[in-house]
Amino acid sequence: MLFNKKAEGELMGGLSAIKRPSIGAANATEPGTPAVRNINGVPTRSVIDAWLQITGNLESEGEVQVDGQIQGDIRCAHLTVGRDARVAGNITAEEVVVRGKVTGLIRANRVILQDTAQADSEIVHKTLSIEEGAAFEGFARRCEDPLSAVTPGANPPGANPPGANPPGANPLRNGNRNYHTTEAVAELA
């Protein structure tokens, strides 16, 4: 039994007239320019789900939220590392908010280590905020332009920085590096 009096061709013809947004519509005027997905003039957010594991580099022009695991470098405008997320690799972004575990070099104008963060990193930053409860082991260096600064002798993730104490030694006794922690430390003379 037919419930519609229009012919099948008329129904399908209406669907082809629907306008769909084009991924490269924002940059269609300049050939060779990478496509940026914009919705209402705002770049979209890419989410790496909690059950997703990525091995390889990740690049985005917009915001990236990682709730899963990434083993590789990340370059984006704004990165949020979720509470249960793990990132092993170098990060370059305008702003980085860490709630989970990060191992590797972080370069950003603004870095925020929230109370659940675990960072074993070198951080090159313009501004750095470490909340109470966050664990940060490594060293931080303030820089006016951290996104383009050259880091001499940058080490791969997990490597001991030159001049650092060997594994198991007391990092508070090392005069060459700035080790940070949000816990109170008392040293006996």
Domain-by-domain residue ranges, the chain?
Answer: 42-147
pLDDT the model gives residue 7: 52
pLDDT the model gives residue 58: 95
User: Which has the higher per-residue pLDDT, 138 or 17?
Assistant: 138
pLDDT the model gives residue 148: 86
User: Which has the higher per-residue pLDDT, 64 or 163?
Assistant: 64
The pTM of this model reads 0.61
HEC-encoded secondary structure of 108-164? EEEEEECCCCEEEEEEEEEEEEECCCCEEEEEEEECCCCCCCCCCCCCCCCCCCCCC
pLDDT the model gives residue 149: 72
Instruction: Look up residue 108 and give its two tokens.
Output: 């950003």
